[in-house]
Structure 1
């Protein structure tokens, strides 16, 4: 049987894969695993969601499962995922639950759990929750039944937290903010205005069905147009649950997660706050970022793809900054997980403090052309053991030298091998990538 938890909680099409019954059972199983603390009296959980229509029935199922297991529940309402993580810690809850499918389309939804302190669950705890599905302790009765309440000030607590983390104000900056019709539609504009920015919003009218639809961090065209038409200094884009942040400079150019990480790394280094002068990234980060950090005297630690692996490495090494090209950025001095609002505020703080445009700051690194080819229908299990493929990669790496690199990676969910090549010239990257893709097809073809 396939593992229920993926790389970021349990996800699926709501009502078909992720049913009310599954949500109920998961919450009951989670209560058995995560509520086994030392609190006097009943354990406490917080529950938040993004504005998807399905979040309404899934929230009801999760709350019912928790309360019937003897857990007191504070409903946070519609809030970003990092807000739920923060409030899990801030309200001293035993654990937190977030209902969201992040950047996915409206029909999808997901359930993510946070341990005490707003920490992501390690694999072993997720495995324990799965093992407890459909069994375990009898339901609570009488005075042992959990009580349910609503946190009227949840959004305000989170807004204050992110605003107080910004080292300087943003007065004079005109910013277009794309909220992806998602969980940040109310809190993100308010946070920016409190630190002095002039804010123009798009994608801030969630109706339960339009989340991530033609907007947000995965579709930046609307933001680019809005930045140009309003003569804005910058644009900030979040995804549906606002754990991501990408940006658009005043000239309409995209500033991706690698560039944001480069800007923030230099800011923290200058302030003496970049722990061990080290940045944590994934293997997919552009080589240009690594070269720029080397020049600045900043070490770079690589992890597998996935923000959870970045976070694990940051905690293990006591590092303060890490993230992904996709815009998951972790500022560990201020958050226990990736936080798009926090990232956007600190990025704009750098623009304001430096008195330079975002496109100038983004030149901290030169993005090398990066070509990705997905080779489908091959036996990915043989990728690591194929001598033919290994020899081809060695030749390609020698050809590219210090100004390029090769990454061959098997997909975690499909019969597919990803071939990624970076080179100083895009034409050279395409040529090498196509050559390697042909080797993958011949060496791993069924």
Structure 2
């Protein structure tokens, strides 16, 4: 279905990747074929694409060698965003079924999003422009292509200004721009040159993450990250459920990680009245948890996320008989969102259009969006350690079960801070532990993070 790889298959991939020789690789391959009861006579099919990184063409050449050596049928879709490839996988696998997802082509992707956006904006008009920083990655040319399928600003659509879309110099990828630069540095890319209170957004290099931001009237930078997008989407979907008369049949829930700001979690549970599930970091964990709801909203704070509609929810939305013109309009918008949202994986281009639809329907500027709740000051610190594997986290990575005694000391420290919260988790890629802390004031958040980092350091050296 174009979703993330099932985690049980990661072990098989690791086994193959660590084969010590060609002969060993072949032996392991045949063993997996037997263990997993794979029918060797079944024709394998692979579709692939790449982004604009310099390494892409060499990786594709290696992949093609392997596919040809194994007699596999394949289609090269050339240069695409990561979410566009996920979209195509689902389209290929659902073609000719009742769950047919869309046309199997890049053009089909643009046409589906364009038609859904037009329907969702049928009764509304977007206001102002949005400046989109594309991280000098593949999202730049693909966003420019998508714009051709959208209603223009004059037609009540959205006026999108594209910046940082230079894909001809690979060394410019994420240079002083992109979602990670903006979130980490808490400032706009130098090239955005956006006016005060103007909507701005940044994609990451392969266009599966999106964050918004703006400069307020006092010249302060205001970040609208994945937590903000999740609360905005959950609020709007809840409104549409009520307005369409479907609220009793659609259970909406939000999935977050421990990195989600505590203020966003409280807003969802107390103001929106929706349940929140916390999972371990990583989209594969959030995606599967979101599938438990009729409508599951999941976003990591870094801006990677989407909304899932269960088969039952899609059926209710498709067959519901509206009882009034207002219900009809809400239902029409809800139907449009099921096509506008890329349900296979987080998709920055799809999420961008979703946010623009919601802001238009609510008649909100980014300032009003930002005013829904006040983020608790927070700090993220990286602590280098000799061996990250001694730090084992449980409870959706919010508690350390090892080394023994570390969590007790962290809990004692957190209790001394107003609205204090902190956790430590080992990095997945380097010998380091990441410490996250929140507190009522900026000074206290910094102080708590640094003191928890000292605790981690005392166990890790």
Give the TM bin, normalised by the shorter chain.
0.7 to 0.9
Equivalent in 190, 204, 207 of residue 239 of structure 1: 204
C-alpha offsets along residues 7-52 of structure 1, whole Å, 9 cap, x if unaligned?
9x99xxxxxx99xx99xx89x969x97x998999844321111012
C-alpha offsets along residues 50-94 of structure 1, whole Å, 9 cap, x if unaligned?
012221122122233224323222221211111101111113389
> Structure 2 vs 1, CA of residues 200 and 276 (structure 1 numbering), >3 Å: closer, same or farther?
same
User: 1:260, 1:362 within 8 Å by CA — same for their partners in 2?
Assistant: no
User: 1:400, 1:423 within 8 Å by CA — same for their partners in 2?
Assistant: yes
User: 2:410, 2:455 within 8 Å by CA — same for their partners in 1?
Assistant: no
> Structure 2 vs 1, CA of residues 362 and 230 (structure 1 numbering), >3 Å: closer, same or farther?
closer
> Structure 2 vs 1, CA of residues 72 and 394 (structure 1 numbering), >3 Å: closer, same or farther?
same
Equivalent in 222, 229, 251 of residue 253 of structure 1: 222
How far residue 155 of structure 1 moved from its aligned partner, in angstroms, is: 2.4
SS at 1:53's partner residue? coil
1:155 aligns with 2:156: no
Equivalent in 154, 160, 163 of residue 199 of structure 1: 160
Quick check: 187-196 or 175-184, which moved more?
Answer: 187-196
Gaps of 5+ in 2: 1-6, 152-156, 310-340, 392-399
C-alpha offsets along residues 214-249 of structure 1, whole Å, 9 cap, x if unaligned?
221122388555555456731221111101001123
Rounded to whole Å, the distance in 2 between the matches of 1:337 and 1:36 is: 28
User: 1:227, 1:234 within 8 Å by CA — same for their partners in 2?
Assistant: no
1:289 aligns with 2:290: no
**RMSD of Structure 2 on Structure 1 (CA):** 3.8
How far residue 290 of structure 1 moved from its aligned partner, in angstroms, is: 0.5
Q: TM-score, normalised by structure 1?
A: 0.73
C-alpha offsets along residues 85-115 of structure 1, whole Å, 9 cap, x if unaligned?
1111113389xxxxxxxxxxxxxxxxxxxxx
SS at 2:178's partner residue? coil
> Structure 2 vs 1, CA of residues 248 and 41 (structure 1 numbering), >3 Å: closer, same or farther?
same
Aligned length in residues: 373
How far residue 434 of structure 1 moved from its aligned partner, in angstroms, is: 2.5
Q: TM-score, normalised by structure 2?
A: 0.71
Partner of 1:144: none
> Structure 2 vs 1, CA of residues 319 and 288 (structure 1 numbering), >3 Å: closer, same or farther?
same
SS at 1:320's partner residue? strand
Equivalent in 231, 249, 265 of residue 262 of structure 1: 231
How far residue 404 of structure 1 moved from its aligned partner, in angstroms, is: 2.7
Rounded to whole Å, the distance in 2 between the matches of 1:36 and 1:174 is: 55
Equivalent in 401, 413, 419 of residue 435 of structure 2: 419
How far residue 293 of structure 1 moved from its aligned partner, in angstroms, is: 0.8
Rounded to whole Å, the distance in 2 between the matches of 1:257 and 1:231 is: 22
1:374 aligns with 2:382: yes
> Structure 2 vs 1, CA of residues 155 and 250 (structure 1 numbering), >3 Å: closer, same or farther?
farther
SS at 2:161's partner residue? strand
